[in-house]
Structure 1
Amino acid sequence: MKGIITWFADNHVAANLLMALIIVAGIMGLLSMKVEIFPEVSLDTISITVEYPGASPSEVEEGVIKKIEDQVAGLAGIKEITARAQEGLATVIIEVEKGWDIKKLLDEVKTSIDRITTFPEEAERPVVREVTRVHMVISLAVYGYSDESTLKEIARQIKERITNLPGITLAELSGVRAREIHVEIPAENLRRYSLTLGMVAEAIRNSSLDLPAGRIKTESREILLRAKGRRYYAQDYAQIPIIVRPDGSKVTLGDIATLKEGFQDVDISARFQGLPAVIINVYRIADQNALDVANKVFEFLEEIRPSLPKGVFVATYQDRSKNLRSRISLLVKNMSYGFVLVSLLLGLFLDAGLAFWVALGIPISFLGGIMLLPHLDVSINMISLFAFIMVLGIVVDDAIIVGENIFRKRASVGDPLRASIDGALEVGRPVVFAVLTTVAAFWPLLLGTGTMGKFMRNIPMVVIVVLMGSLVESLLILPSHLAICRVR
């Protein structure tokens, strides 16, 4: 340690280059960090979904689920496999062993699934993905004096326009009931046409499916064909043929039944300012910036408000980006106050030049830590900002101790360079051990497992890298600056 401290104190260009490197790398790291409300963490779960249009739950189980389970059951790292078969859809959930490399297992699962060649022809391509927790950035309320169907349709249109905005890809409706088509068939109509409810249900099911229709290979690419048959409205269902006679005439569902559009009979509702409402939740995913997402939504709201139907309104229901902005503002404010107070107090009792260089250690230490955080998969979020605010109170301690000791040495030694070297060396070891004891206090948080462990790892990561930056600044950069600083 003695050699490197002495070398940097005597080589001012090297110390300044190191400081410039930290500043530039820190700014680049800051610009490349993701901005999110809370950390996006893996749930140690892999999801496999396969659409199988028109298949019953038993057909889904036999044709899809059992084949997937047999194929992946022997892979190492799997803790538990659960599956659910429902009409037209197979879902397989793989829980991963703690500490296992989920990315590696995900690749192995994809490879294993690709080896299955006996899926039913009607089954879609399996979708294999890692399950992660995504967090809402902002939610909107579409409310007014209109009926539920109108509000839902307007909210759906707004949601689609929001997801078409650049930088926003995920938005969901909540507080709404699923649409239903109610089919009422008089018993006399069933008798007249010799029908049963099962026969009618089967005809409806077969006539409301999206089915794959094969592939066409061209010289440049392969084109997937699909027969679009799914129906969404009562008038579409009314045209479904129930009976087709030899002469080509048809008896449609509309001929034997009364169809009405409605909603599921479940207790789901949302209200805003005392009026019926539909909630639109907007999320940040992947590398999207939470603050940019919120800003684009706000701009979009101002754009669409004049074009809304009379009696329908849209407003912000919940804005989590406000909390993120508030915490960023608090960090900047506290850092500014710390810089000013350290400068004033050290300048008042010691020396103005010493005060400036010591106070400069605050931003340099932070930038020194920030340049490493993107490589440690740490983002700007509520948890990491809490850690920044917490470490702000201790990050300048190293520089104050080293700077004050160098100032004291200059009074007795006289030679600025000798005083800087001796002063830094004298307190260097205690400063290092003081930092290491703080690191040791936060280290156990890095050992946490499960979702909460991944969630909280941001705190020790931020504290440790910023303290390491403080150590580098106070022992390598500060002595060099004080060696050429004039002291009264």
Structure 2
Amino acid sequence: ENEIRGVTGVERISSVSQENSGVVTVEVIKGYDTDDVLIDVQNAVDRIPTLPEGMEPVRTFTVENVRPAVSFALSGEDVDLRALKAIARRVEDDLRAIEGISKVELQGLPEEEIEIAFREEDLRAQGITFAQAALRVRTANIDITGGKVRTEAEELSIRARNKHDRAHELRDIVLKATPDGRFVRLGDVADLRDRWADDPTRNYLNGAPAVVVAVSSTVSEDILFIAEETVAYMERFNERGEAVHADLISDATIALRQRIDMLATNGVQGFLLVVLFLAMFLNIRLAFWVALSIPVAFAGMFVLANFFGITINVMSLFGMIIVVGILVDDGIVIAESIYQEHEKGASPVRAAVDGTMNVLPAVISAVFTTVAAFST
């Protein structure tokens, strides 16, 4: 934290520490380039002279604001957790391969572990201490970088990978060589087995183990497109007839689609009602121009929304629905005032100007009253 405090563009630093890990969160001041700040933070971390021995390399990355889009569960009655995990990983890769989808998370999937239970009497008989055996296992089961080799034509990365993922792969690790040339292996002094980590957040669907696939969208991604593509993928997945079935759990776009349908319905109804009633009581030309204010106002709103980076979401759609009523009410008030001026003998242009100016203060006051009510 002390090294990061001097980085330009950092607004706030917070940290959370727990056993075997720690997370430092850096919030960037609005207007600063996140990628530039990320590089500066990485350089600041690299300047730290010493870190605890045995500590894994520090990972520095950006975290975007995301919003849930769609989540579904993968489950099967006669499918074990290992097979379910493999299928879930494949589904995750398939979804990430769809252009426009970048945030996919698997939930309720415990980590796999290898349990090593040393037999004390066998260790003692072979003259091996527990610390020696543990160190030998740790050094024989590694996956680390070994530097780089540079040539005139290319740069090659060297990596030492001797990572074992199954218990039977560890049984032959040599712990000690005896004077008579015999090797004492891990399987000679310990019992090994594959197991799942204890995780209280496992998921079940209808009594069967399940993995939840949560698909989210970033601020720059289209949540409606993501939901459509995810649901379409689920349908294709279920058509394969595999033992695992995908069941929809939640769809955050349902409320958004309902708001869009409501907005379209209210807009069409408002347009027709304005034309109908103003044509009945005033005249058809005036009714048409007042009704035209609804699509014109929304067209202007979409242009400005795109300019200011305002997205279509539940809140913005709610505001649009409120505005439909305001447009209809204020349009009728102004149209009636113009009609009265025209009836008094004023020319159409003069009637439009005078009629609008007569009620303009009241209309503006009513609009600002509504704005004030929803902004507090």
TM over 0.5: yes
Secondary structure of 1:413's partner? Answer: coil
1:78–1:95: 8 Å Cα contact kept in structure 2?
yes
Counterpart for residue 411 of structure 1: 343
Counterpart for residue 173 of structure 1: 106
Looking at structure 2, the residues matched to 366 and 353 of structure 1 have their Cα atoms a distance apart, in angstroms, of 21
Counterpart for residue 318 of structure 1: 250
Could you say if the C-alpha distance between residues 439 and 208 of structure 1 is closer, same or farther in structure 2, counting changes exceeding 3 Å? Answer: same
Could you say if the C-alpha distance between residues 206 and 400 of structure 1 is closer, same or farther in structure 2, counting changes exceeding 3 Å? Answer: farther
Looking at structure 2, the residues matched to 79 and 390 of structure 1 have their Cα atoms a distance apart, in angstroms, of 37
1:284–1:293: 8 Å Cα contact kept in structure 2?
yes
Give how far 1:402 is off.
2.1
Counterpart for residue 134 of structure 2: 201
1:282 is matched with which residue: 186, 204, 215? Answer: 215
Q: Which has the higher helix share?
A: 1
Counterpart for residue 197 of structure 2: 264
Counterpart for residue 17 of structure 2: 84
Looking at structure 2, the residues matched to 426 and 94 of structure 1 have their Cα atoms a distance apart, in angstroms, of 55
Could you say if the C-alpha distance between residues 163 and 128 of structure 1 is closer, same or farther in structure 2, counting changes exceeding 3 Å? Answer: closer
Give how far 1:224 is off.
4.1
What whole-Å deviation, never above 9, does each CA across 1:85-130 have from its counterpart, x for those lacking one?
A: 754x55223467xxx647479855742541543566996464143x
Looking at structure 2, the residues matched to 247 and 393 of structure 1 have their Cα atoms a distance apart, in angstroms, of 94
2:108 equivalent to 1:186 = no
Looking at structure 2, the residues matched to 170 and 245 of structure 1 have their Cα atoms a distance apart, in angstroms, of 53
Counterpart for residue 47 of structure 2: 117
2:68 equivalent to 1:136 = yes
What whole-Å deviation, never above 9, does each CA across 1:386-419 have from its counterpart, x for those lacking one?
A: 2222232213333222222212222222421222
Looking at structure 2, the residues matched to 365 and 194 of structure 1 have their Cα atoms a distance apart, in angstroms, of 86
2:149–2:155: 8 Å Cα contact kept in structure 1?
yes
Give how far 1:210 is off.
2.6
2:65–2:218: 8 Å Cα contact kept in structure 1?
no
Once the two structures are superposed, the pairs formed by residues 340-355 of structure 1 within 5 Å of their partners are: 340-355=272-287
What whole-Å deviation, never above 9, does each CA across 1:304-359 have from its counterpart, x for those lacking one?
A: 2244544x322212222222222211221122111122221212211222112111
Looking at structure 2, the residues matched to 395 and 237 of structure 1 have their Cα atoms a distance apart, in angstroms, of 74
Greater RCO, CA 8 A, separation 6+: 1
Structure 1: gaps (5+ residues): 1-68, 445-488
What amino acid is the match of 2:82? Answer: S
Once the two structures are superposed, the pairs formed by residues 195-344 of structure 1 within 5 Å of their partners are: 195-217=128-150, 223-243=156-176, 250-310=183-243, 312-344=244-276
Could you say if the C-alpha distance between residues 407 and 231 of structure 1 is closer, same or farther in structure 2, counting changes exceeding 3 Å? Answer: farther
Give how far 1:140 is off.
1.5
Looking at structure 1, the residues matched to 134 and 352 of structure 2 have their Cα atoms a distance apart, in angstroms, of 89
Could you say if the C-alpha distance between residues 85 and 142 of structure 1 is closer, same or farther in structure 2, counting changes exceeding 3 Å? Answer: closer
Counterpart for residue 9 of structure 1: none
1:72–1:109: 8 Å Cα contact kept in structure 2?
no
Out of 72-81 and 133-142, give the one that drifted further: 72-81
Could you say if the C-alpha distance between residues 125 and 344 of structure 1 is closer, same or farther in structure 2, counting changes exceeding 3 Å? Answer: same
Secondary structure of 1:205's partner? Answer: helix
Secondary structure of 1:73's partner? Answer: helix
Secondary structure of 1:292's partner? Answer: helix
What amino acid is the match of 2:326? Answer: I
Secondary structure of 1:371's partner? Answer: helix
Could you say if the C-alpha distance between residues 154 and 113 of structure 1 is closer, same or farther in structure 2, counting changes exceeding 3 Å? Answer: closer
Could you say if the C-alpha distance between residues 381 and 408 of structure 1 is closer, same or farther in structure 2, counting changes exceeding 3 Å? Answer: same
1:238–1:252: 8 Å Cα contact kept in structure 2?
yes
2:371 equivalent to 1:434 = no
Could you say if the C-alpha distance between residues 354 and 254 of structure 1 is closer, same or farther in structure 2, counting changes exceeding 3 Å? Answer: farther
Counterpart for residue 61 of structure 1: none
Looking at structure 2, the residues matched to 253 and 157 of structure 1 have their Cα atoms a distance apart, in angstroms, of 34
Out of 429-438 and 182-191, give the one that drifted further: 429-438
Looking at structure 2, the residues matched to 244 and 287 of structure 1 have their Cα atoms a distance apart, in angstroms, of 60
Looking at structure 2, the residues matched to 270 and 256 of structure 1 have their Cα atoms a distance apart, in angstroms, of 36
Could you say if the C-alpha distance between residues 287 and 117 of structure 1 is closer, same or farther in structure 2, counting changes exceeding 3 Å? Answer: same
2:326–2:367: 8 Å Cα contact kept in structure 1?
no
Could you say if the C-alpha distance between residues 401 and 91 of structure 1 is closer, same or farther in structure 2, counting changes exceeding 3 Å? Answer: same
1:391 is matched with which residue: 320, 323, 332? Answer: 323
TM-score scaled to structure 1, two decimals?
0.67
Secondary structure of 1:141's partner? Answer: strand
1:402–1:427: 8 Å Cα contact kept in structure 2?
yes
Could you say if the C-alpha distance between residues 441 and 267 of structure 1 is closer, same or farther in structure 2, counting changes exceeding 3 Å? Answer: closer
TM-score scaled to structure 2, two decimals?
0.84
2:352 equivalent to 1:420 = yes
Could you say if the C-alpha distance between residues 158 and 126 of structure 1 is closer, same or farther in structure 2, counting changes exceeding 3 Å? Answer: closer
Could you say if the C-alpha distance between residues 286 and 439 of structure 1 is closer, same or farther in structure 2, counting changes exceeding 3 Å? Answer: closer
Looking at structure 1, the residues matched to 180 and 145 of structure 2 have their Cα atoms a distance apart, in angstroms, of 30
What whole-Å deviation, never above 9, does each CA across 1:46-72 have from its counterpart, x for those lacking one?
A: xxxxxxxxxxxxxxxxxxxxxxx2212
Out of 71-80 and 410-419, give the one that drifted further: 71-80
What whole-Å deviation, never above 9, does each CA across 1:15-34 have from its counterpart, x for those lacking one?
A: xxxxxxxxxxxxxxxxxxxx
Residue identity over aligned pairs, in percent, reads: 31
Looking at structure 2, the residues matched to 102 and 85 of structure 1 have their Cα atoms a distance apart, in angstroms, of 32
Secondary structure of 1:439's partner? Answer: helix
Looking at structure 1, the residues matched to 278 and 39 of structure 2 have their Cα atoms a distance apart, in angstroms, of 61
Looking at structure 1, the residues matched to 49 and 334 of structure 2 have their Cα atoms a distance apart, in angstroms, of 70
Give how far 1:219 is off.
5.6
2:329 equivalent to 1:400 = no
Looking at structure 2, the residues matched to 249 and 309 of structure 1 have their Cα atoms a distance apart, in angstroms, of 49
Give me the CA root mean square deviation.
3.2
Secondary structure of 1:127's partner? Answer: coil
Looking at structure 2, the residues matched to 383 and 139 of structure 1 have their Cα atoms a distance apart, in angstroms, of 22
